[in-house]
Amino acid sequence: MIILGIETSCDETAVAIIEGNGNDVRVLSNIVSSQIDIHKKYGGVVPEIAAREHVLNILPVVNEAFKKAGIKRAEAGKKIDAIAVTFGPGLITSLIVGIETAKVLSSVLKIPLVAVNHIEGHIYANFVGKKDIKFPGLILTVSGGHTMLVLMKGHGKYKVIGDTRDDAAGEAFDKAAKLLNISYPGGPAVAAEAKKFKVKNLKSKIQLPRPMINSNDYDFSFSGLKTALFYQLKKDKNWKKRVPEYCAEFQEAVVDVLVSKTIKAAKDFGVKTVLLAGGVSANEKLREKLKISVAEELPRVEFSLPDLKYTTDNAVMVAVAGYFRALKKDFIPYEKIKVDPNLELR
């Protein structure tokens, strides 16, 4: 089965084509047009600008995806079995571009349409090239807009057991980077600065809190951590000379909470696999520490990481999620699909 995936929930215009056979998924093309350089000067994504860029980029990206996959546009209606598109959550004006493109392609080429939750897409980045992920699984989903723990009992069967009460981890990294006057996006910038401090093998004298790390639930909160950083910087007249140290401690605090909560939930729910998903899953420290913690504290539990190229927003993850839905004939008429910027995972 061949699936065309479309992702435009934020500031990446992405189209991919994948081929699925049972649990085996092969990527035929993966095209992403990023807007990071455009939004960098604003310190965040500007929705109107993002939507306009999507309009300019979407058709060239679709054409490039066909070309890379070796599919001629005239043959697309016969070769592609379904179109998977993100319909939420995300920026409404950005989502509309992807949805309207998918609707037109579905109508003209007579290809059935699959509606995909963006968070579900991130989860399915773990299924690229991996034939056997055991259920139930626990997914730590960490991105700029979401930080949650999701219990997955089977394909398309989710239960959110933990969520952020305020800032998502990725958002916290962005705000920390802004306070420290380093570049956007914040996650990679903080990680790069933190590495400079660790290279010197120094031990940080800065102490930041680990919010809710010992709470009796699976929720997260990072707003207080950002505030603690703000007051630390305000007291420290020499903070500009200690940016790598501040970044190292901030990153350590975020990772400590994420890993601790994940291990606790995995034990409590008796899962067979722990998975990591979302843009922040590219963080080297988080990947390393969660892998080690699962191996040490959950020796019978498997651990899954998505390839780095599928951690940030891309259409491969959407196509893979769409593939597993298409196997169950979970289609939606193109006339009925609607954008839902506040869509929840269920």
Query: What Cα–Cα distance (Å) separates residue 57 from each residue in 14, 35, 73, 105?
Result: 9, 10, 17, 16
* Structural contact between residues 276 and 139, judged by C-beta atoms closer than 8 angstroms: yes
Residues 6+ apart with CB under 8 A from 241: none
Query: What's the pTM?
Result: 0.94
89 preceded by a cis bond (ω within 30 of 0): yes
Query: What Cα–Cα distance (Å) separates residue 135 from each residue in 151, 154, 155, 203, 276?
Result: 9, 6, 9, 40, 14
Reported as a single tens digit per residue, the pLDDT across 38-77 is 998 888 899 999 999 999 999 999 999 999 999 998 899 9
Q: Tell me, what's the pLDDT at 41? A: 84
Q: Tell me, what's the pLDDT at 44? A: 87
* Structural contact between residues 150 and 160, judged by C-beta atoms closer than 8 angstroms: yes
Reported as a single tens digit per residue, the pLDDT across 78-133 is 999 999 999 999 999 999 999 999 999 999 999 999 999 999 999 999 999 876 89
State the first-to-last Cα distance of the chain, in angstroms, to the nearest integer: 25
Reported as a single tens digit per residue, the pLDDT across 134-143 is 999 999 999 9
- What average pLDDT is seen over the chain? 95
Q: Tell me, what's the pLDDT at 183? A: 87
* Structural contact between residues 144 and 174, judged by C-beta atoms closer than 8 angstroms: yes
Separation CA 330–CA 93 (nearest Å): 25
- The mean pLDDT of 278-301, rounded to a whole number, is 97
Separation CA 143–CA 150 (nearest Å): 14
Separation CA 243–CA 252 (nearest Å): 14
- The mean pLDDT of 15-32, rounded to a whole number, is 96
Longest dimension (CA), the chain: 66
Q: Tell me, what's the pLDDT at 114? A: 98
Show the domains of the chain with their CATH numbers: 2-126+310-326 (3.30.420.40), 135-305 (3.30.420.40)
Percent of the chain with pLDDT over 70: 99
136 preceded by a cis bond (ω within 30 of 0): yes
Reported as a single tens digit per residue, the pLDDT across 177-199 is 999 999 889 999 999 999 999 76
∠86-271-161 over CA atoms, to 5°? 55
- Candidates 7, 4, 5, 22; CA nearest to 129 is 22
Residues 6+ apart with CB under 8 A from 250: 173, 176, 190, 194, 208, 225, 229
Distance of CA 30 to the CA centre of its chain: 16
Question: Based on C-alpha coordinates, what's the Rg of the chain?
Answer: 20
Strand order in the sheet with 2-7: 24-34, 12-21, 2-7, 82-88, 113-117
Reported as a single tens digit per residue, the pLDDT across 140-167 is 999 988 999 999 999 999 999 999 999 9
Reported as a single tens digit per residue, the pLDDT across 217-239 is 999 999 999 999 999 999 999 99
Q: Tell me, what's the pLDDT at 1? A: 97
* Structural contact between residues 159 and 153, judged by C-beta atoms closer than 8 angstroms: yes
Q: Tell me, what's the pLDDT at 42? A: 86
Half-sphere exposure of 27 (CA within 13 A, CB side): 21
Q: Tell me, what's the pLDDT at 346? A: 84
Q: Which residues pair with 342 in a beta bridge?
A: none
